[in-house]
Amino acid sequence: MASFHSIAGFHLVTGAVVIVGSAAAMISGCAADASRTTSSESAAERARSQAAFVEIAAVLRHPRCINCHTVTDFPRQGDAGRRHAQFVLRGPDNHGVPAMRCNSCHQDSNQENGVPGAPHWALAPLSMSWEGLDDNQLAEALKDESKNGGRSLESLLDHMAHDPLVLWGWNPGGTREPVPVPHETFVRRLEEWMATGAVSPEPSP
């Protein structure tokens, strides 16, 4: 069941929501023209929204992202998502434990010796863990302000588009594979998803 902010002041209780208007108008929170549409157009837009999210999910689940969006009390490493070496732990503030803080080893940028780095290097809080979530749960978690760090869709998009730690996924240094989907594509998919109602894919059966 999709849920989102009532931006245009117009929604259908059936759970299929259609907003017609520019994505920019939607996310700016301004009232947008909402024209009535046919249900097949609504269904199509819903499907496009969900399809956009599937591509977004592929990025989120890539090791460069999900290795720090774990559900565990430790980060992961490598494309196989191995437990981080050296018994590195999340710690109560997601930044490691005394004497083994994330920034004991990780700097603000990738180092020549292969140690990856970016500003604010740390684990995402457990509320932002993505491991084990299906596409539906992932989308729901992303949109849930109680889980996503109090972010509106707009600020979520801003985070994904500009945060240096997020951007690191595309410039991981060493021999690490960057996220294969280009960042600009990822951002566009996010914008499309949000413009089409940020519809979550159907839950898994």
Partner 1 sequence: MTPLTVNGTTHQLDVAPDTPLLWVLREHLGLTGTKFGCGMALCGACTVHVDGEAVRSCSAPLSSVAGRKIVTIEGLAALAGRDLHPVQQAWIEEDVVQCGYCHSGQIMSAAALLAKVPKPTDADIDAAMSGNICRCGTYQRIRAGIHRAAALAAK
Partner 2 sequence: MITASLRSNPAAVRSAFQLAVVPPAIVAELSRRGFLKLAGATAGLVLAFHFTGRSARAASAAASATATAGFAPNAFLRIGTDGVVTITINHSEMGQGITTALPMLIAEELDADWSRLRTEFAPVAAEYNHAFFPIQMTGGSTSTWTEFERLRTAGATARALLLQAAAAEWKVSIDGCRTEPGVVIHRDGRRLDYGALAERAARLTPPEKVTLKEPSAFRLIGKPTRRLDSLEKVTGAAQFGLDVHPAGTLVAVVARAPVFGATLEGLDPAASGKGPGVKGVVQVPSGAAVIADDFWTAKKARDALAPTLRWKMPEGAPVDTTAQAARFRELAREPGVPAENTGDAAAALRGAAKVVEADYAVPYLAHAPMEPLNATVTFDGTRAEVWTGTQFQTMDRAAVANVLGIAPEQVELRTTLLGGGFGRRATPSSDWVVEAAHVAKAARAAGLRAPVKTMWTREDDLAGGYYRPMFHHRLAGGLDAQGRVVAWQQTIVGQSFLAGTPFAEMIKDGVDETSVEGAAHSVYAVPARRVELHTPTLPVPTLWWRSVGHTHTALAVECFMDELAHAAGRSPLDLRRELLPADSRERRVLDLAVEKSGYERVNLPAGHAHGLAVHASFGSFVAQVAEVSLQDGWPRVHRVTAAVDCGTAVNPLTITAQVEGSVVFALSALLYGEITLVEGRVQQQNFHNYEVVRMHEAPVVDVHIIARGDQMGGIGETGVPPTFAAVLNALFAVTGKRIRSLPLTRAKFA
The alpha carbon of residue 83 and the mean position of all alpha carbons in its chain are separated, in whole angstroms, by 22
Query: Residue 180 Cβ, how far from partner 2 at the closest point, in Å?
Result: 24
Pair of tokens at residue 192: 């499309």
What is the x/- site pattern for partner 1, positions 115-154, by CB under 8 A? Answer: x---------------------------------------
Q: Which of residues 109-128 bind partner 2 (CB under 8 A)?
A: 112
Q: Which of 13, 80, 85, 99 binds partner 2 (CB under 8 A)?
A: 85
- For residue 81, count other CB atoms closer than 10 A to its CB: 15
111 makes contact, choosing from partner 2, partner 1, none, with CB < 5 to 8 Å by partner type, with: partner 1
How far apart (Å, rounded) are the C-alpha atoms in residues 72 and 69? 9
Q: Which of residues 70-89 bind partner 1 (CB under 8 A)?
A: 85-89
**Binding of partner 2 at residue 175 (CB under 8 A)?**
no
Phi-psi region of 199 (alpha: psi -120 to 50; beta: other; left: phi over 0): beta
**Binding of partner 2 at residue 86 (CB under 8 A)?**
yes
**Binding of partner 2 at residue 1 (CB under 8 A)?**
no
Beta-strand relationship, 100-101 and 82-83: unpaired
Rounded to the nearest 5 percent, the helix, strand and coil shares of the chain are 40, 5, 55
Using an 8 Å Cβ cutoff, are 169 and 64 in contact? yes
Nearest CA to 2 among 109, 159, 139?
139
15 makes contact, choosing from partner 1, partner 2, none, with CB < 5 to 8 Å by partner type, with: none
Catalog residues that contact partner 2 under the rule CB under 8 A.
85-87, 112
What residue ranges bind partner 1 (CB under 8 A)? 85-89, 91, 97-101, 103-108, 111-115
